[in-house]
Structure formats: structure tokens, C-alpha cells
Amino acid sequence: MRIKTIVIILITFFITILLMQNTGTVKFTILFKDVYISKLVMLTLVSVFGFILGFLVGRPKRITRLGGDFTDPYQTDDKTDTLSDEDKEYIN
């Protein structure tokens, strides 16, 4: 297994233990309103939100170019051999 897989398994294991140990009810104040919610639910919501945020930030970005790739319409020679005769002699 790769190290990344092992780290993900360990983090999931520790989050599961943390969630199972915190099942009591806690008062949260959200915009001047008291809300009683289980620690289990709140920690689960925060963990899921953190995972989604980490996934979105950590993924590679796609590069989009406006107008597509530029190709010179006046270039007609497709020379793949760009070595001079002196360079060819030197290599041989």
C-alpha cells in the first residue's frame, strides 16, 4: 500500500474513535439563537466539510486557454531534422 492510503486509513480510524467518544449534547449559538445539537452530529458535519474542502483545494487544476492553441498558418515546413551537418558528423 502507498503511504497516502495508510495515512487516509489512520485519519479515518482516529476520526471514528473521536466521534464515538463524543455523543453528548452541546449548546451552539448561531446568529443569536441557541441550538442544542449532538457533538457527534457537529463533528461529523465539520469532518465532512473539511474533507470536501481539502479535496477541492488539493486536486490539480485544468488549464483552459481562451481561443484554443495557436498555430501559425504561414509555417509550411515541418522539419523534424534540425541538426546541422556539423552536428551530425560530431554525433557519429
pLDDT tens by residue, 31-57:
889 989 888 888 788 888 998 998 888
pLDDT at 8 over 80: yes
- Mean pLDDT for 51-65 is 77
pLDDT at 9 over 90: yes
Alpha-carbon span 15 to 20, nearest angstrom: 9
The DSSP element (H or E) to which 73 belongs, if any, is none
Q: What's the pTM value of the predicted model, to 2 decimals?
A: 0.45
Q: What angle do CA 28, 29, 30 make, to 5 degrees?
A: 110
Q: What pLDDT sits at residue 62?
A: 67
The residues spanned by each domain of the chain are 1-58
Check: CB of residue 40 under 8 Å from CB of residue 22.
yes
Alpha-carbon span 19 to 72, nearest angstrom: 60
Percent of the chain with pLDDT over 90: 9
Alpha-carbon span 91 to 4, nearest angstrom: 45
